[in-house]
Amino acid sequence: MLALNVRFTADALLVALSDGREISTPLEWFPRLRDATPKQRKNWRLIAKGIGIHWEDVDEDISVATLLRT
């Protein structure tokens, strides 16, 4: 499963997956993202074509496998 897109609500991280699902995870689980500015949250890139997501500004990496296990 690969990530295709990332977006945020006021209290959640939402990741669109290659199989059509969208995972919603509480921002409380990721304090660096929770505390990041909207600009910092928007500055993400896919790792290894979607295996994970990286936020340079807050030094956060999250794998799709981790999101699916939670």
pLDDT score, position 69: 87
Which position has the token pair 């921002």? 27
Q: Are 21 and 15 in contact (CB under 8 A)?
A: no
Q: What are phi and psi of 62, to 5 degrees?
A: -135, 130
- Domains plus CATH for the chain? 3-69 (3.30.2020.40)
- Candidates 51, 50, 33; CA nearest to 42 is 33
Q: What is the mean pLDDT of residues 22-33?
A: 96
Average pLDDT over all residues of the chain: 96
pLDDT of 70 over the 80 cut: no
Q: What is the mean pLDDT of residues 32-45?
A: 97
pLDDT score, position 50: 96
